Amino acid sequence: MINQPCSTGSCKELRSIAGYCKSCWIKRTAAKKAREAEKKARGECTTCPQPVAKGKKRCYECLEKYRLQCRGREQSRIAQGLCALCGLAPLSGTSRTCSRCFCRNVSPFHFKTTKRTNELIQLLADQGGRCPYTGRDLVLGNNCSLDHKTPVSREARTTRTISNGFTVLAQ
């Protein structure tokens, strides 16, 4: 595919992105965004001429097709032994997600933001993947939970920080 002419046929540059040269790809995506904006202004689904579902950019039929497509992709990844969300290797045989996706999903629950994902992964690594109380191995998504060193009831200011947390065996 690389070292072949651009798919537009009129361009002499070599392919680089999905069969298009970079300049044609930029033009193509700009035109697609303009078409989607026009359809949105008319209240049409971005993939068909049906009216959109309330608060969405697609109609109910296209939303269902997209949902089934996503579910199929997740099931395919799991069957291959990959993370259902990102396609990387999962943490354990029982987990559907890798450690990064798991931490990204639980970070908002504990810290009200996903920006602490790397810190959560580092926290588990610093503990060597073991519970500080029992010494047993921790498996994300299976038996691992986040606990506070200082209870929330004692000092609410510092309870939502990584330094006040550690991973423990969930029971």
Is 92 within the bounds of a domain? no
Is 128 within the bounds of a domain? yes
Is 91 within the bounds of a domain? no
The mean predicted confidence, pLDDT, of the chain is: 80
Same domain as 51, residue 35? no
Residue holding tokens 């029982």?
Answer: 94
Same domain as 152, residue 115? yes
How many structural domains compose the chain?
Answer: 3
Percent of the chain at pLDDT exceeding 70? 74
Same domain as 33, residue 6? yes
User: Both tokens of residue 84?
Assistant: 């259902």
Is 67 within the bounds of a domain? yes
Is 89 within the bounds of a domain? no
Is 87 within the bounds of a domain? no
What number of other Cβ atoms are within 10 A of residue 20's Cβ?
19
What is the domain range of residue 14? 1-40
Q: What is the pTM of this model?
A: 0.61
Q: How confident is the model at residue 61 (pLDDT cuts 50, 70, 90)?
A: very high
Total residues found in the chain within this entry: 171
Is 66 within the bounds of a domain? yes
Same domain as 114, residue 164? yes
What does the alpha-carbon distance between residue 12 and residue 6 come to, in Å, rounded to a whole number? 7
